[in-house]
Structure 1
Amino acid sequence: MAEASPENDAWLQGLVDRSPVLADAVLRAHWRRLIPWVSSAARYELAAILLDIEHACAP
């Protein structure tokens, strides 16, 4: 199990994979490739946005 932290590439990529806002496979693949290069601060911002959307879309 990946550590639940934006610092963990696998965890953040999983968040990207399941995000309803990134429904297009090409867009998801683009973000997955960028994750290793994204700064720590931007990782936390991205995770916060994706988690907010995930929770807002939950049944």
Structure 2
Amino acid sequence: MAHTTQSPEDSAVSKILTVAQKEWLDGVIACMKRQIDTELEPDNDARTPLEKALADDHVL
């Protein structure tokens, strides 16, 4: 049995969307990108995982 991998882009290209579906999908993608850029900003904490655990040991 041969194992083939297909990138998400390939599978998306093979599907035919209506104009309304494409507009909806573009809106969802734009919304997700905004959430990633605002709500899920990277943690700028320069401490190592060990330093974070030691600092948070009062929770234990």
TM-score range (shorter-chain normalised) is: 0.3 to 0.5
TM-score by length of 2: 0.45
What is the TM-score with the length of structure 1 in the denominator?
0.45
* Larger Rg over CA atoms: 2
| Structure with the largest fraction of helix | 1
